[in-house]
Amino acid sequence: MTPIEVLRPLLRGDEHFAVTGATGWFGTTALDLLDDLLGEQAAERVTAYASRPRTMTTAAGRTVEVHALSELGSSIGSTTHVLHFAFLTRDRAAELGIPDYLEQNLQITATVLGAISRLHPRGLLTTSSGAVYDKARHMSCDLTGNPYGTLKHIDELALRQAMADIGGTSVVARVFSVAGRGITSPELYALGAFITMAQAGGPVHVRAQGSVVRSYVGVAEVLAVGLWSLLSQIPLVFDSGGHVVEMGELAALVAQLHGLPPDAVERTLDPDAPEDRYIGEPGQMAQLAEHCGLDFAPLAELVEQTAAGMRAGGGSS
């Protein structure tokens, strides 16, 4: 089944969704998904939030007024469910410096905690990250060496406890690698960089000299599993899974889908370089998808969706 087919039977008709980080990759995809799910009612039943007020347009052509995140705790829309995707990405740590990076992300967490205490939503879905794990697969507690992952760990714990305190449902998706329309800052992601090079006619250059393995799933698929659990009132923490692929194979697939020959992929391999493996728990999301009836898109289709989104201008940053 598609995400819409999975989710529509679970709606009660009184839901009002607050989407934070609405202009990012997960936020824009969530708004598009809710447009499809709610139809004409989306304008009245979805409220968007970001770091500052602005307007944006969904894939369906709906103009959305985006409110400042600081307004989340107000009575806008009588929120029943919070879809929380607001967070400064890991690349911002170097730009801001660790003290400012910590302060700004903790302020985001505090804002959402305050909103939960005032609004008492029935459920909260948030995206965490595979970066919450250290190399030994223990939870990260190193604010200096891994500020992003450690802050995500703190965010998870705080939000889950806040929802438990009010008797609500919390769902946490620990995201590894994703694909799909709405990508923001494609240059920060291997898939986005490969597509950019392929769309320019090649070559597609793989910088990594050693094996680099990632697991890709669609952003909409992560949201579908998370929303299914949320609307079913099943508390859940899960790793995003999907298609496991080495970066050379991914680059070759991107080149092929853009009509480039095999030799368009350039890479210098070092057989002695250590493997870089960053994947979620392999069977976890697959089992959840099977349970709710969700069909995963093939990797080639995910690449094509991402490329189409980039040609159309991607999402808002």
Q: Indicate left, alpha or beta for 185 from its phi (over 0: left) and psi (-120 to 50: alpha).
A: left
Q: Please, which contacts does 207-211 make with residues 24 or more away whose CB atoms are closer than 8 Å?
A: 208/247, 208/267, 208/273, 208/276, 209/267, 209/268, 209/269, 209/270, 209/273, 210/269, 210/270, 210/273, 210/274, 210/275, 210/276, 211/246, 211/273, 211/275, 211/276, 211/277
What confidence score (pLDDT) does residue 178 get? 98
Using CB atoms within 10 A of its CB, is residue 215 exposed (0-12), middle (13-18) or buried (19+)? buried
Tell me how far apart the alpha carbons of residues 194 and 312 are, in angstroms, rounded to a whole number.
17
The residues, ordered by sequence, that sit 6+ positions from 280 with a Cβ below 8 Å of its Cβ are: 130, 174, 176, 215, 239, 240, 241, 242
pLDDT band of residue 316 (cuts 50, 70, 90) is very low
Which pLDDT value is given to residue 245?
98
The pLDDT-based confidence of 158 (bands split at 50, 70, 90) is very high
pLDDT over threshold 60, residue 32? yes
Residue 250 has pLDDT above 50, yes or no: yes
Q: How far apart are CA 260 and CA 74, in angstroms?
A: 52
Predicted pLDDT at 315: 42
pLDDT at residue 281, rounded to an integer: 87
For the residues 242-270, what does the mean pLDDT come to?
Answer: 97
pLDDT score for 283: 86
Please provide the average confidence, as pLDDT, over all residues in the chain.
Answer: 95
Quick check: 16 pLDDT over 90? yes
**What is the share, in percent, of the chain residues with pLDDT greater than 90?**
93
pLDDT for the residue numbered 317:
33
138-150: pLDDT as tens digits: 999 999 999 999 9
Q: How confident is the model over 23-45, as a mean pLDDT?
A: 97
Work out the average pLDDT over 102-119: 97
pLDDT over threshold 60, residue 110: yes
Q: What percent of the chain has pLDDT over 70?
A: 98
> Residue 197: what pLDDT?
98
Structure-token pair, residue 37: 């799910």
Distance between CA atoms of 315 and 22, rounded to whole angstroms? 10
Contacts of 309 (CB under 8 A, 6+ apart): 180, 181, 182, 183, 315
- Mean pLDDT value of segment 157-176: 98
- pLDDT over 70 at 191, yes or no: yes
CB 132 within 8 A of CB 159: no
Report residue 107 as tokens: 């302020």
Per-residue pLDDT for 282 more than 80?
A: no
Query: Does the pLDDT at position 314 exceed 80?
Result: no
Mean pLDDT of 262-287: 93
What pLDDT digit, counting tens, does each position of 46-95 carry?
Answer: 999 999 999 999 999 999 999 999 999 986 668 999 999 999 999 999 99
Handedness of CA 275, 281, 286, 289 (dihedral sign): negative
